[in-house]
Structure formats: C-alpha cells, structure tokens
Chain A
Amino acid sequence: MNAVALGFDRTLLELKMYSREKEAVFFSFLFPILMLALFSVIFGDEMEAGGSQMSAAEYFLPGMISAGILLTSFQTMAMSVAAERDDGTLKRLRSTPMPPVSYFLGKVGLVVTTALAQQVLLLAVARFAFGVELPDTADRWFTFAWVFGLGAFAGTVLGTAYSSLATARTIGAVVVAPMLILQFISGVYFAFTDIPSWLQHIASIFPLKWIAQGMRSAFFPDQLASMEMAGAWEHGRTALVLGGWAVAGLVLCVLTFKWFKRGTT
C-alpha cells in the first residue's frame, strides 16, 4: 500500500481509538458543547454586548467554537503523541515498513474528522436547542472556514511540537493548565474587553485570541467590531498571526520530532 492509503488506514484506526477513549471524547470533543449549554442555562437571554441584547448562547458561541478547535487539534495531538512516544507505539510503528508520513496523515485525518464533527454538532446545538441565528451570507461562512482551517492546522502542528516538552505522565498537566489560562485571557469564557489591557497584549501573542476574534467576526453583528482591541475585526492580521504560528509550528515539528523517548538513542 502507498503512504496515502496507509495514512487513511491509520485515520480509521485513530478514530477507533479516539472514540473508545471516554475521557478524550468528553474533555475535548463534547466539552465546548456542554459549556455552551451550561452558559445558556445559567445566563439565559440576559447578555449585553456593545449596547445590544444577546442570548448567552449567541454570546458564547464564537468562544466555544474557538476553544473546540484548539481542544481537538492542539490538545489531542500534544497528549496522544506524548503518550505514544512514551509507551513505545512510535517505536513500534518505526519498526515496520510504514512510511513516517502515514502516521502524520493518520493524525491529520483524526483531527480533521473530530474537529469538523464537533463544529457541526456545536452549530446544530446552538441553532436548534438554543435558537442562535447562524450567519446567512457566504462571506461570513468563508471567514468561518478559513479561521477554522488555519486554526486547526496551527493547533495540529503546535500540539505535535509541544508533545516533546513532557512525558505521558506529565503531559496532562503541562497541556491542560496553559490551555485553561489561554482560554480565559483570550476571551473565550467572557468578553475580551473585560480583560486588563496588559493581559490582552499577552493573549494577542497566542493563536487562540485570533481564532476567537475571527469567529466573532463571522457570528457577531458588524457593529460589535468596535468592541475589539483595535476597534475592527482585523482579518488581515488574524490571517498573518495564525499563518505565522502554523509555519513556525511546522518548522518546530520537523526540527524536534522524536520517535523515541528521551535518552534512548
């Protein structure tokens, strides 16, 4: 079989393993959907942003979309690659004639499938359970698509590179804590404008803030652009920052990826 066919086969195997791991399904796949439901139940229709009244589901949807992208790409990759390096799965794959690229294609297949399924589910719950009006113009969906694509790609390569920072035993803490902090300071859980400006500047270094801003531009009324740091949606800069992280992550992956755990070669 060629590398692409083997990559497809790896994707199916990865999906089998992912779906059988209840913790992964709960904490990365269903988590943003549960959070959206929770916010909606707690805050109801009483959110207010930029002078206009919104339901909590409308208000939090872009943030949950963004958190979901990072959970299914960055967190999935960082945790699974670290575990597979530690428990010898990568070494075992290396001992077969499987081309290395097939392993990565399998991971990409896993991320693409789970991330897309998660977004569809999230949008469906928002629309049908909480009555959120979804965008009705093509250019808004286009914005959603490229922010999603760039964000998921950057998350995938950065997660793979990040996996080298820890062992399977420590990776849970090493990933989850920074992710949680990043979600808070990037305006996923509450209005980005409520965050002190020095924290806003720190958040602006990382991709999540830009994914969230891009998603707000796709789902929020245009007049809310004035609530952003720059007073505008900044599509150009968003693409630049996310693209930069994607390229940097890819280079880091190529330079640092190890098939064997530390100290064994």
Chain B
Amino acid sequence: MTAISIRGLEKAYGSKRAVDGLDLDIETGEVFALLGPNGAGKTTTVEILEGFRTRDAGEVSVLGEDPHGANRLWRNRIGIVLQSSSGLDLLTPREILASTARSYAKPRAIDEVIAAVGLEEKADVRIAGLSGGQRRRLDVGLGIVGRPELLFLDEPTTGFDPQARRDFWELIRSLASEGTTILLTTHYLDEAEQLADRVGVIAGGQLLALDTPANLGGRASEEATVTWLEQGQRQSVRTATPTLEVRRLAERFEGEVPELVVNRPSLEDTYLSLIAPHVAAHDEPASHDTGRTNSIAQEVSA
C-alpha cells in the first residue's frame, strides 16, 4: 500500500523553481525522512502534500486522495505537527487538546495523549509557561490527538536538549510501531538515522538519493579508510578489506598500532557530498527570496 505518491511535482515562486519534477512513493506504515539544505524544496513539497499549497504541475496522491481541495474526511485521517504558535498562550494543554480532539471522528483520550507526550505535570498550566521543548511536545500531541494514519513532522526537535530529543524519538518510535505512517523533515542526520526506514535527499527541488539510512549513497559498500601514525606522520589507506589491513599492520608493528582509526563515511559525510554541488548553486536564489518577501523565505527555510 502506498500512503503518498508523487509524480512529476513542480512548483515555482516567480523564477525560482522550488520543486522541479519530484517523484516519490512512501509506503503505508513507513517512517520516511526528507533531508535537504535550506531552500531545497522540502517545506514546499510537504505543504503541497498537506493541502496547504497549490502545485504547478504533477500528480499527488495522499491516502488515495488529491490533497488540493481534500475534504474533512481526509483531514480526519492525517495529523500535522505545526510550528508552535503564541496563539495558544492563554490556554492550557488540556484545554486545547480537548478542543482539537472534538473535530475528529475517533480521537485519542486526552489523558493518553498528555501521557504520551510527557506533559502530565504541565497539563493544566497556561501554555505561556511551557518551555520550548514542552511546547514542541504539545504540538506533537495536537498532531496525534485525532489518531492519524499519516503524520507530518516538520523539523520536530529543533531547539531540543539531548535528553528531550531521546524522549521524543521514543515517542515517534511508539507511534510508528502502532502503524502510523510518518513523514519527517529534519536537518539532523542522526535523527534520520535513528528514526527513518528510508531517507530521501532533495536539493534544487529534485530527489538526489533515496535509500535506507545505512545504504544511502552507496555507504555500505564504500571503501573504509584505515589511518595510523608511523615515523611521526599520519599514514592512510583506502580499502575494501579493512580487517585484513589492520591485521597486516598489527603484524608489522608487532602489537599495538599507534593511533589506529578505521573509518567509514558517516551519513553526514554522504549527505554533505550529495548536496555539495547544490548548496553553492542555491545560495543565490535563496537570498534573492529573502529580499522579496520575508515570509516566503521563512517558509521555505523552515
């Protein structure tokens, strides 16, 4: 089953082609991470999928429907975690969760959602008094209160401390284990590696790579680099058989090899080399965008 299907998606803002012929399928029950530099077209793509933006060309199907002009029944099946808004400051998490739940057909119990996002102690406190991480967890609570089949998460852990991120990942994993399809956009490569079944890298509005985090960009088969210190100099060898190389070194040094390191490209290395040609090319349109209207630039980079 396909939860999201995108064929030849195009969207331009003036002369800037934000999404330029994107094809992508996301399976039901999958956790999919969309990665890409600022201005890559991530947010535009996601907002088209959410039904918040129109597209210029291409076919889009989300849970079997075109999100553009989709009805309430469709909205009932999706959850969107939006950026926190100060418009909630005067209410408590329990009040806004209860009010939001009422528009869904089969909402989760409010106490269950409060517990899932770890806001038990803040449930009846004005939202103005919540920390950034607590607000973000409330946003997630608002996204999942309607028991969605498909959840959109846009940069969910930006501004979290390390412990809060770990807790948040646990929450996402438990949602995924219940069968929720999750589309995640993030800047954090370790987050994608921790959570995603598959990763798509986009830049310049096009899909550059699509694979599991372990295999992205041919990472798994990439040669390893073995480095060590010899006669005051760093030596290094690229090899497909690092274990053999290390044994050979161990024999030559008759024991401990000084400052031995065996390295494979991290997801971050692979990602950075994938987007490298696009980052320089896209600096200019991005800053042009900022000059034109602030809000578009914010949206695109957000």
Contacts and interface: CB of A to CB of B under 8 A. Distances in A.
Contact of B104 (A13, A21, A83, A96): A96
Given A84-B87, A96-B146, A97-B76, A91 B82 contact: yes
A13 B92 CA distance: 11
A33 to B, nearest CB: 23
Given A1-B102, A17-B90, A260-B52, A97 B85 contact: no
B99 A87 contact: no
Contacts of B102: 1, 5-6, 9
A98 B71 CA distance: 10
A144 to B, nearest CB: 32
A262 B82 contact: no
B132 to A, nearest CB: 16
Interface residues of B, number: 33
Interface in B229-243: none
Contact of B103 (A16, A97, A262): A97
Contact of B90 (A21, A260, A262, A264): A21
A16 B87 contact: no
B52 A88 contact: no
Nearest to A13: B99
B15 interface: no
Interface string B67-109: 0000011011000101101111011000110011011110000
Nearest to B126: A20
B50 interface: yes
A207 B273 CA distance: 64
B85 A89 contact: yes
A94 interface: yes
Contacts of B73: 97
A83 B88 CA distance: 11
Contacts of B299: 264
Contacts of B95: 13, 16
A1 B102 CA distance: 7
A84 B96 CA distance: 15
Contacts of B88: 89
A39 to B, nearest CB: 32
B53 interface: yes
B295 A83 contact: no
B76 A88 contact: no
A265 B54 contact: yes
A20 B100 CA distance: 19
Given A88-B83, A88-B85, A98 B295 contact: no
A260 B295 CA distance: 11
B150 to A, nearest CB: 12
Contacts of B296: 263-264
Interface of B: 50, 52-54, 72-73, 75-76, 80, 82-83, 85-88, 90-91, 95-96, 99-100, 102-105, 126, 142, 146, 293-296, 299
30 contacts: A1-B102, A1-B103, A5-B102, A6-B103, A9-B102, A13-B96, A13-B99, A16-B91, A17-B90, A20-B90, A84-B87, A87-B85, A87-B86, A88-B82, A88-B85, A89-B88, A92-B87, A94-B52, A95-B52, A95-B82, A96-B100, A96-B103, A97-B72, A97-B75, A97-B105, A97-B146, A99-B72, A263-B294, A264-B295, A265-B53
Interface of A: 1, 5-6, 9-10, 13, 16-17, 20-21, 83-84, 87-89, 91-92, 94-99, 102, 260-265
Q: Which 7 A-B pairs have the closest CB atoms?
A: A89-B87, A98-B103, A88-B85, A97-B75, A263-B293, A87-B87, A97-B72
Given A95-B80, A260-B52, A263-B296, 13 more contacts: A9-B102, A13-B99, A20-B126, A88-B83, A91-B52, A91-B82, A92-B82, A96-B146, A97-B73, A97-B76, A97-B104, A261-B295, A265-B54
